A and B are shown apart, each in its own frame.
Chain A
Amino acid sequence: MSNPTAAATHGAPIVRASLFSRIAKNPFGALSLTVLAVVVLVAVFAPMIAPYNPNHTDVNNLMSGPTGTHWLGTDAAGRDVFTRALFGAQSTLISAVLVVVTSIVVGVPVGLFSGYYGGKLDAIASWIANMLMSLPAIIVLLAVRAAFGASIYLSMIVFGLLVAPGFFRLTRTAVMSVRNELYVDAARVSGLSDARIISKHIFTVVRAPLIIQSAIISGIAVSIQSGLEFLGLGDPKMISWGVMLNEGFQNIFINPLLVLWPSLIISLTIGSFALFGNAVRDALEDSQKIKGSKKAKLAKVQNIDVAGATNPARDFVSNNKHLLEVDHLSVGYPQGDGTLKHVVQDVSLYVDKGEVLGIVGESGSGKSQTAFSILGLLPENARIASGHIVFSGHDLVTHGGGSISQKEMAQFRGKRIAYIPQEPMSNLDPAFKIGYQLVRPMTKLLGISKAEAKAKALAMLETVGISNAERVFNLYPHEISGGMAQRVLIAGAVACDPDLLIADEPTTALDVTVQAEVLDLLRDLQKRVGMGMVLVTHNFGVVADLADRVVVMQYGRVVETGPVRDILRNPQESYTQELLGSMLEGKTPMTMLTTSSKE
């Protein structure tokens, strides 16, 4: 294994042998590996395979074009260009290795300690890294050249120092994120020394990114080395591609080919380093995908068990009189192997005007995906495989899947179907004031003036229980609390008097005391406006509090559906009983759940 990058791949147990084969299977990976292997072999065996002595001058044959004896022609001194190109690989390879080794030797250990211990050491190291990164490398290398003379290898070592911050930051970030992981804590508790934790647990995490970074830095090193030599600031006695380029450029009017060869070789080599880095990254991403699809298969197996039970959704009769009707909806994500991983399967439900429908299930049950299908806001790679969604007589998803265009969907969103998200803090645009984010949909959808919209927004804010509405109106999202942000989001959702409100875990991210207030608020609003509501939650308590009917979901399917009282009192399916049981564990039963009053 003479290829340094390939050798590094082999030395890393975390990057398993299959990674190497995946890189080789990727056409660009194979191409780049081949080119780099050729460069290495040529550099090692140049004295044996070169047809001429690189410094042999043929005075009778200056600057000839390519011929049978001189495959790439001769240069201005009558030397064989092909031979010199072969020997040039040596200095290129040494330069790349010098840069990478220097920057790893400096950057990685400092990054490890800086990220692991933090504190003053980290502050100083980060300051130095920032300083080095703000320096134009060429200018520094010129200064080094001026101080120490023309040694390209010294320049490369200095350049290695200049790019060390890249390795430093990479290692530091990885270490900081791993440092507080549970398994590292566990290792610490079990008495492993810091040094062993660093080498065993943390180093394995940063290895793969280091290979990618090394490939990129190697490419930059070749570029910088050739650039310095091209400027005539390298060692003129050395045989290298940059020197060839420099000599060729002086004769560019006579023989442009002398510039073409080194340009091609340099670009090909740098490009191979870049493609190799990309191939490693792609191979790593693929391996994550493969892990993901294994999980999907597991889910499918479990699906079959559920499907064996009677599907209560079958009892559902479509009669088009409901406000919202979801009919046999299936949603999936295309996988690498061409199959569709289903997250929602054959789900049917309906909501009437003024009715609250709870969708209950654990995370991964497909309840949020069902909600996003109604809004037409599924992630871009999701596919509606089959089914039909009708909202107050309009097809949102036509028979056999395929949703209506975003433009048509937009006429319903905000005005007729509104949405309350789960995470209040991440659902307001941090760059715009709260007032703007409330006013803009109203001016757009209701066609009212800004002043009217502002008055309405202030009234809405007061309705949702924000006392100093005028002040909140002028704040940025990061200046308010999570509970207040959720109130703002609720105000925004109901601002245009929608017929249907879809609330996706509206209280999950909030403190317990705030949860109750927000639920009260939702109930009041729903009653007052008389809108239909889909309440997505994992919490039966929330359902018991608000919903009229409930749909229980598991593994993307409807398990049980019915009026909320019936389901709570007398759940038919074992899964529903489990869900209810887990909620009631360790709590005193509420009167609603017992048939006889205990007090």
Chain B
Amino acid sequence: MLAFIAKRLGSGALLVLVISTLTYFLLFFSSSNVARNLLGDQATNTQVVAKQAELGLNRPILERYFEWLTHALTGNLGTSWYTNQPILEALLSRLPVTMTIVMIAIVLAAVLATVLGMTAAIKGGWVDRLVQILAVAGFAIPNFVVAIVIVTVFAINLALLPATGWVPFSDNPVMWALSMVLPVTALVVSTVASAAQQIRSSFKDVMSRDWVRTLKSRGIPNREILFKHILRSSAPAGLTVLSLQFVGMMGGAVIIESIFALPGIGQLAVQSTAQGDTPVVMGVVVYTVILVIVVNLVVDLANGWLNPKVRVK
């Protein structure tokens, strides 16, 4: 088990290194106009050259990369070109917002998808057809369209919920909860149906295994077979679906945060991309990749724990 964890950690670290290297060269290879863009048309050439030197852009890219890497290893991801704010600080201050909506959404999506998927697999009939239809609808309607529709209906027309903005929990828990409702709903709606369909098919697959028939022949009640044996064996597939949903939701959060004006990592990503604040974009990429890898590792460990073949070794 320890060897398994160590191997996965090593592979994860390698992945972060490869991706951050690729991203660094992608982002900084063509940053010749940065100083001019930062200073505006009014600036003299001398000022531009001075700014370039200040940002270190006149140095070779390899040298800059190794400097970035050694700093990043100590937790220093550099500073923003526009605000001079340390990037790690910016990320950490925005992490709670993104994590709150993504985590609430993923838990809700997991519960709903499991209930829907299991019901569809066990009952069949109209529940099954409903899940199929919802899965196509959930695929067809992108999350930003869902967000726009629920904002228009619940915030603008019915004025039930705040349309945009974020209230910290410590300021006003009720407003915090209300400001969560629409963004979380948008994320859940666009993921739950496809997750339910995948859980349905893995559940159906397990239901048709030989040992299920043998358990029935032993006189074990159907309910116990469903909720103890079949659920247990289809859980790894469900967890894998969830880890993919997490990656999807980290992407979805970028769009959702922009629509609802939530000060999360996604909004930071969009802002810094639009401005050309390359070090911040770099920081966001590295940070997100680490988050995704950590979540995947946790899912792998949970699957290992669920699967006795891995556990015993």
Residues of B within 8 A of A138 (CB): 251-252, 254-255
Taking the complex as formed, is B306 at the interface, i.e. its CB lies under 8 A from any CB of chain A? yes
Q: Tell me which residues across on chain A come within 8 A of B185, comparing CB atoms.
A: none
Question: What DSSP secondary structure best describes chain B's contact surface?
Answer: helix
> In the complex, what distance in Å separates the CA atom of A266 from the CA atom of B152?
18
Chain A min CB distance to B105 (Å): 14
- Is A231 a contact partner of B270 (Cβ separation < 8 A)? yes
Given A278-B136, A410-B219, A413-B217 in contact, is the A146-B281 Cβ separation under 8 Å? yes
Bound together, the chains give a CA A413 to CA B145 distance in angstroms of 53
Contact string, B1-34, partner A, CB cutoff 8 A, digits 1/0?
0000000000000010011000100110110000
Confirm or deny: A445 has a beta carbon within 8 angstroms of a beta carbon on chain B: yes
Of residues 240 through 273 on chain B, the ones whose CB sits less than 8 Å from some CB of chain A are 247-248, 250-252, 254-255, 258-259, 269-270, 272-273
Q: Which of A271-329 contact B (CB under 8 A)?
A: 271, 274-275, 278
| Interface residue from B254, B272, B292 paired with A146 (Cβ < 8 Å) | B272
Q: Establish whether residues B218 and A227, one from each chain, have CB atoms under 8 Å apart when the complex forms.
A: no
Q: List A365-407 residues whose CB lies under 8 Å from chain B.
A: 375, 377, 406
State in angstroms the CA–CA spacing of A270 and B248 once bound together: 17
Q: How far is the CA of A140 from the CA of B282 in the complex (A)?
A: 10
B309 touches A478 (CB 8 A): yes
User: Are B219 and A134 interface neighbours, CB within 8 A?
Assistant: no
Check A147–B26 contact: CB distance below 8 A: yes
Kindly identify, within residues 189 to 219 of chain B, every residue whose CB is under 8 Å from any CB belonging to chain A.
Answer: 209-211, 213-219
In the complex, which range does the number of interface residues on chain A fall in?
35 or more
A144 lies within 8 A of chain B by Cβ: yes
Q: Is B293 an interface residue (CB 8 A)?
A: yes
B273 touches A377 (CB 8 A): no
Complex Cα distance, B269 from A591, in Å, reads 86
Task: Report yes or no: A423 in contact with B210, Cβ–Cβ below 8 A.
Answer: yes
Determine whether B79 belongs to the interface, using a CB cutoff of 8 Å to chain A.
no
- Is B308 a contact partner of A478 (Cβ separation < 8 A)? yes
Which A residue sits closest to B246, measured CB to CB? A136
Chain A residues with Cβ below 8 Å from B296 are: 134
Q: Nearest Cβ in chain A — how far from B64, in angstroms?
A: 15
Q: Which B residues touch A245, using CB under 8 A? A: 144-145, 148
Whether a CB of chain B sits under 8 angstroms from the CB of A568 is no
Are B308 and A492 closer than 8 Å at their CB atoms? no
Is A524 engaged at the interface, CB distance under 8 Å to the other chain?
Answer: no
Identify A253's interface contact among B156, B272, B308, CB under 8 A.
B156
Asked whether, in the complex, the Cβ of B142 is within 8 Å of the Cβ of A142, the reply is: no
A249 — which chain B residues lie within 8 A by C-beta?
148, 259
A378 to chain B, nearest CB (A): 10
Q: Is the CB of A233 within 8 A of B273?
A: yes
* A426 lies within 8 A of B221 (CB): no
> Within 8 Å CB of B144, what residues of A?
226-227, 230, 245
B158 in the interface, Cβ–Cβ < 8 Å? no
Cross-interface CB contact of B217 among A146, A278, A377, cutoff 8 Å: A377
Tell me which of B156, B214, B251 contacts A489 (CB under 8 A). B214
Partner of A145, one of B273, B289, B306: B273
Chain A residues near B284: list those with CB within 8 A: 139, 142
> Are B30 and A148 in touch, CB under 8 angstroms?
yes
Query: Known contacts A274-B140, A431-B233: does B152 contact A259 (CB below 8 Å)?
Result: yes
Contacts of A144 in B (CB 8 A): 26
Give the contacts of A115-140 with B (CB-CB under 8 A): 131, 133-140
A399-431 CB mask vs B (1 if < 8 Å, else 0) is: 000000010001101110111010100111111
Q: Could you tell me if B255 and A143 are in contact, using CB atoms closer than 8 angstroms?
A: no
Q: B214, A427: Cβ atoms under 8 Å? A: yes
In the complex, what residues of B have CB within 8 A of residue A134's CB? 15, 247, 289, 292-293, 296
Within 8 A of B (CB), among A236-260: 245, 249, 252-253, 256, 259
A232 interface hit (Cβ, 8 Å): yes
Is B71's beta carbon under 8 Å from chain A? no
Verify if A476 is at the interface (C-beta below 8 Å from B): yes
Q: Determine the distance from Cα of A223 to Cα of B209 in the docked complex, in whole angstroms.
A: 37
With an 8 A cutoff between CB atoms, is B304 at the interface? no
Using Cβ atoms and an 8 Å threshold, which residues of chain A touch B248? 136
Contact of A139 among B15, B18, B209, B288 (CB under 8 A): B288
A residues in contact with B142, CB < 8 Å? 223, 226-227, 266-267, 270
CA distance A476 to B276 in the complex (A): 57
Contact across chains for B214 and A219 when beta carbons are under 8 A apart:
no
Q: How far is the CB of B68 from chain A (nearest CB, A)?
A: 15
A444 contacts chain B at the CB level, 8 A cutoff: yes
> Bound state CA distance, A375 and B156, in angstroms?
61
Question: Taking the nearest CB of chain B, how far is it from the CB of A163, in angstroms?
Answer: 13
Known contacts A223-B142, A406-B222, A414-B217; is-contact A430 B26 (Cβ 8 Å): no
The answer to whether A85 has its CB under 8 Å from any CB of chain B is: no
Q: Which of B146-160 contact A (CB under 8 A)?
A: 148-149, 151-152, 156
CA distance A299 to B133 in the complex (A): 37
Q: Which of A377, A421, A431, A437 has the most C-beta atoms of chain B within 10 angstroms of its own C-beta? A: A431
Q: Which residues of chain A have C-beta atoms less than 8 A from B269's C-beta? A: 139, 142
Chain A contacts of B136 at CB under 8 A? 271, 274-275, 278
Indicate which residue in A136, A415, A421, A478 contacts B288 across the interface (CB closer than 8 Å).
A136
Q: Of A143, A417, A428, A441, which is within 8 A of B281 by CB?
A: A143
Residue contact B216 to A413, C-beta cutoff 8 Å: yes
Closest residue of B by beta carbon distance from A492: B218
- Is A362 part of the binding interface, using a Cβ–Cβ cutoff of 8 Å? no
Is A263 in contact with chain B by the CB < 8 A criterion? Answer: yes
A479 in contact (CB, < 8 A):
yes
Closest to A252 in B: B152
Indicate if A535 sits at the interface (CB-CB under 8 A): no
Closest Cβ of chain B to A503, distance in Å, is 11
- What B residues does A145 contact at CB under 8 A? 273
> Does B62 touch A at the CB level, under 8 Å?
no
- Residues of chain A within 8 A (CB-CB) of B254 are 136, 138-139, 142, 231
Q: Which of B27, B211, B233 contacts A147 (CB 8 A)?
A: B27
State the CA gap A426–B206 with chains docked (Å).
12
> Are B293 and A445 touching (Cβ within 8 A)?
no
Give min CB distance, B127 to chain A, whole Å: 15
**A426 and B209 contacting across the interface, CB-CB below 8 Å:** yes
In the complex, chain A residues whose CB is within 8 Å of the CB of B140 = 219, 267-268, 270-271, 274
The answer to whether A45 has its CB under 8 Å from any CB of chain B is no
* A431–B214 CB distance below 8 A: no
Contact pick for B250, options A139, A268, A271, A431, CB 8 Å: A139
> What CA separation (Å) do A231 and B147 show in the bound complex?
13
A395 to B289 Cα, complex, angstroms: 62
Cβ of B239 < 8 Å from any Cβ of A? no
Contact with A along B217-233 (1 / 0, CB 8 A): 11111100000010011
Residues on B lying within 8 angstroms of A by beta carbon are 15, 18-19, 23, 26-27, 29-30, 136-137, 139-145, 148-149, 151-152, 156, 209-211, 213-222, 229, 232-233, 247-248, 250-252, 254-255, 258-259, 269-270, 272-274, 276-278, 281-282, 284-285, 288-289, 292-293, 296, 306-309, 312
7 contacts between A and B (CB under 8 A): A143-B27, A143-B281, A259-B152, A271-B137, A274-B140, A432-B229, A492-B218
Q: Besides A227-B255, A431-B308, 14 other CB < 8 A contacts?
A: A131-B19, A136-B248, A136-B251, A136-B288, A147-B278, A245-B148, A266-B142, A266-B145, A267-B141, A270-B140, A414-B218, A419-B218, A431-B306, A478-B308
Q: What 10 A-B pairs come out closest when comparing CB atoms?
A: A414-B219, A271-B140, A419-B217, A136-B251, A138-B251, A441-B218, A426-B210, A223-B142, A476-B308, A136-B250
